[in-house]
Amino acid sequence: MRILLVGAGGVGSAVVPIAARRDFFDHIVVADYDRARAEAVAGGQAAEQIRKQTASGPRDPRFSAIGLDASDQAAVEAALREHRCDVLVNAVDPRFDMPLFRAALNAGAHYLDMAMSLSRPHPSRPYELPGVKLGDEQFAMSAAWEAKGLLALVGMGVEPGLADVFARYAADHLFESIDEIGIRDGANLVVRGEDGQEAFAPTFSIWTTIEECLNPPVIWEDGGWRTTEPFSEPEVFDFPEGIGPVECVNVEHEEVLLIPRWVKARKVTFKYGLGDEFIDVLRTLHKLGLDSTEPVRVRGLEVSPRDVVAASLPDPATLGERMRGKTCAGTWIKGVGKDGAPREVYLYHVVDNAWSMREYGAQAVVWQTAVHPVVALELLARGAWKGQGVLGPEAFEPEPFLALLNEYGSPWGMRES
């Protein structure tokens, strides 16, 4: 398997040291708008641990780097062909999903992303009805992928991704019928500034966080999707492994669109433990128009305010040394168990930043997003997962995925209530 990894940001830079320990692939071409960043990541330089490991040995020849503009579909197609890649892995902001998705289809490559094509709110009733939903543009092209015998595996990170695998696992093995599937994401991460004081520094792509948090959250209920107001229905969820109770609110997320396509449940929700400070920041950015992706004119130049926000904040990939704590992603399922009795479980995956930094030189949040697509690629390379068309993680058998995740040294857990 030859892979074109597009994006050498936080997630891309964590994919490299994870894949470097595995032998399922032949080559990974790391591509980025900033070629120097792609070179550094391909050389393991962005991953502290890998740098130490390879300092005395040769660079892993299975990684190379190129400069590439993810918005330039023709250039991406050319790169896939030139480097004879079987798979394109999309590790850039979801605004580039469609050019990358189309490039892979045209070039005859499989495709994997960790999000889905973007939504557009309902024009007149944005907080009641969905407009264009996450993934709609991709699912509309499923027949073209099937016709070419190609797979587009969408939403294959941690959330969406592992969370969807958990939902399918619960449906197959733990429940007779499911009432509600609630994805719940929370952390007790703290970032300290240069001065040692607690600092404000988002641990994941702020571009993506703004997108998902300020769009109308979507809910699946009684056979249909509806939307609500941003940050609605706050609820305190008790996260495992010492993280403890965190207030979570509704956020637009891919699982709510993916799970009901393959798993039967009366209700599917996604809630994120953003915290009051982060919600206030997002509300303020929106109030000032700084969440906008439409360019504004500044002294003769055209720039998108959201890009400027991202450029003003520290790169999440560089925060690991100043971070402490754990992050948890998981799927909370309520329904009737195989024995006919009411059952409630939370299937989860916790990453301790100290561990991911020590083992991989990658901070916990980006490492947790990066490990699952690598596991999925390995399953595809080995033939354990097979498929054609546009599919979500819950379209595949969950057992091999969960077994291989354990083999990667990052076990998942289950809490029974």
Can you give the binding site for a second copy, defined by CB under 8 A?
A: 33, 200, 280-281, 284-285, 287-290, 292, 296-299, 301, 303-305, 307-309, 311-313
Q: Residue 368: what residue type?
A: Q
DSSP track, 8-54: -SHHHHHHHHHHHT--S-SEEEEEESSHHHHHHHHTTTTSHHHHHHH
- Rounded-to-integer distance, Cα 310 and Cα 414, Å: 35
Contact 344/204 with Cβ under 8 angstroms?
no
Of 207 and 360, which has the nearer Cβ to a second copy? 207
Of 164 and 291, which has the nearer Cβ to a second copy? 291
385: nearest Cα among 227, 83, 98, 153: 153
Helix (H, G, I), strand (E, B) or coil at 13: helix
Place of tokens 């969820």: 237
CA dihedral 117, 255, 215, 296 (to 10 degrees): -40
**DSSP state at residue 120:** B
Structure tokens at 247: 């207030």
Residue 60: which H helix or E strand, with range? none
Least distance to a second copy from the beta carbon of 254, Å? 26
Least distance to a second copy from the beta carbon of 334, Å? 37
Of 298 and 403, which has the nearer Cβ to a second copy? 298
Least distance to a second copy from the beta carbon of 281, Å? 6
Of 200 and 233, which has the nearer Cβ to a second copy? 200
Least distance to a second copy from the beta carbon of 125, Å? 15
Of 144 and 290, which has the nearer Cβ to a second copy? 290
Of 60 and 211, which has the nearer Cβ to a second copy? 211
Least distance to a second copy from the beta carbon of 284, Å? 4
Of 291 and 378, which has the nearer Cβ to a second copy? 291
First to last CA, the chain: 42
Pairing of the two strands 224-227 and 87-90: unpaired
Helix (H, G, I), strand (E, B) or coil at 1: coil
- Rounded-to-integer distance, Cα 60 and Cα 53, Å: 11
- Rounded-to-integer distance, Cα 416 and Cα 347, Å: 9
Least distance to a second copy from the beta carbon of 319, Å? 14
Question: How far is the CA of 276 from the CAs of 269, 279, 281, in angstroms?
Answer: 20, 5, 9
Q: In whole angstroms, what separates CA 71 from the centre of its chain? A: 19
Contact 65/39 with Cβ under 8 angstroms?
yes
Of 181 and 189, which has the nearer Cβ to a second copy? 189
- Rounded-to-integer distance, Cα 34 and Cα 248, Å: 35
Least distance to a second copy from the beta carbon of 124, Å? 13
Least distance to a second copy from the beta carbon of 310, Å? 8
92: nearest Cα among 162, 27, 157: 157
Dihedral angle sign, alpha carbons of residues 70, 75, 79, 80:
positive
Least distance to a second copy from the beta carbon of 38, Å? 16
Q: Which residues are registered as beta bridge partners of 285?
A: none
Of 232 and 293, which has the nearer Cβ to a second copy? 293
Of 161 and 305, which has the nearer Cβ to a second copy? 305
Least distance to a second copy from the beta carbon of 149, Å? 36
Of 229 and 238, which has the nearer Cβ to a second copy? 229
Least distance to a second copy from the beta carbon of 206, Å? 9
Contact 227/129 with Cβ under 8 angstroms?
yes
